[in-house]
Structure 1
């Protein structure tokens, strides 16, 4: 820029930010500054005064901040123009009135106004459409007290509630809720571990009932067959007796036939008794399997109730679930 030229202050916010990548060491600023001291450099939240060089002083398009070492990756780099609010020139009565001097002064004051505009935009303020005329001045500092609107909404005041006590109460409630949730999870896990074996027992009981029913059916069929055999044997004995009566000349052979027929009849009768006993046993096994299945289903229902109670500790168990009896 030549000596006759002056800085032009455009409509540009005098503040820019970057996130460092750990490699880049040069960061540009797009707004003009009058002196190197007019530029503030922040690394994170720390204002840094050394370890970099500033170029582009007095240039309309700004310049560059060149760090000696690249900022660490993830570091927020903030560059902003910060001017001292002051008048830098004085015009003497009847003295020279040079245009560049006047323009420089006006540029400086315009830059100060931009700086104030940025500061105001980052302050607590009412919405442009808010109909109230509330005062946003903060009340006196009271440690541990939150700030809120007063009763008529015209200003801010320290809330009478003890914020620290409220925080402690909320933290205690949160801890209690977390502990209750953990207990519920533990109960649910226990109930789940109990329910799975009970479900397996239910399946086993159902299979046992089916097998017992099949045994009962087979025993009934055996009993029927034995009864038919007994009837046939009785018929054979009767025929043998008739043959003996008709052919009395048979002698010992006839007596032998009668004896064999009687033995067969007695054997068949024994088989029928055994089949009858088997049928009775099968019926008893089926009844026992049915009872066991009902007992297992009741236990599974109790386990399901435990799961529900585990997730809702305030729920009251029914009498059979509380006592453990179906």
Structure 2
């Protein structure tokens, strides 16, 4: 048996490389709000695309080489196209500006996924809370809740009516269940308690938007009628229980100090423009680097235990003392 096993491996064909890339053509670019455009993406040959569920996103590889995550905000039942929406961030990392300024109908991009880090659970009652572009993962959830006959409410808040995308689509679901709440019409941003007042009894809350809004909802939850909260943010989370450490970039010998309230990615990117990153939340793996020495405090949601033996994600993971990485 041992002889047969050895020789069977010798003649086994090599495992082929499986590409996870999905080539896509931009079928339509559409203005949805101030500084927000949506892209409808299709396969070059019109073939069906991989299925997805509400809360899913695409890893989008732009022509420049930048990799970014964008929530799918179209219809999961449409297997021939994807829709994403992007707000221009003038002082961001350049991905949104590239889409707004350079991507046109007929252009080509590459996607990976769909992947879901914000899964939609089945429940009898929901409250959906979205801030600005945070409506993108929420919109398909509200559609599905309505289709299932659930008791649901939705609040979409932002600076001005003109800054809020997909308002017409939201109102078309059920105007009595949707509250479009621009700050300019009320004078001040809404509070977490005000947002949660809209929740049906024992509702599951889905919240996506800027960190202050999510924080306000989280703090107000214990006094609300809602029973559970799921949230997703589009920006880097604050560092929790951070301690300062140093990181040495082995290729140059440069030693950088990482303060308790900043990530290694932020500090490294200040000194090494072009450092690869995308989600800044530890789930995509774009910023993964090889660790040459040091003790890592792993805080990601993407690396396996075996991978953590040699790598770390510098967007969220930290270290004790001195760390040397292959950069």
User: TM tier, shorter chain?
Assistant: under 0.3
Greater strand content: 2
State which structure, 1 or 2, has the greater radius of gyration over its C-alpha atoms. 1
Greater helix content: 1
Please report the TM-score for the alignment, with normalisation by the length of structure 2. Answer: 0.18
Please report the TM-score for the alignment, with normalisation by the length of structure 1. Answer: 0.18
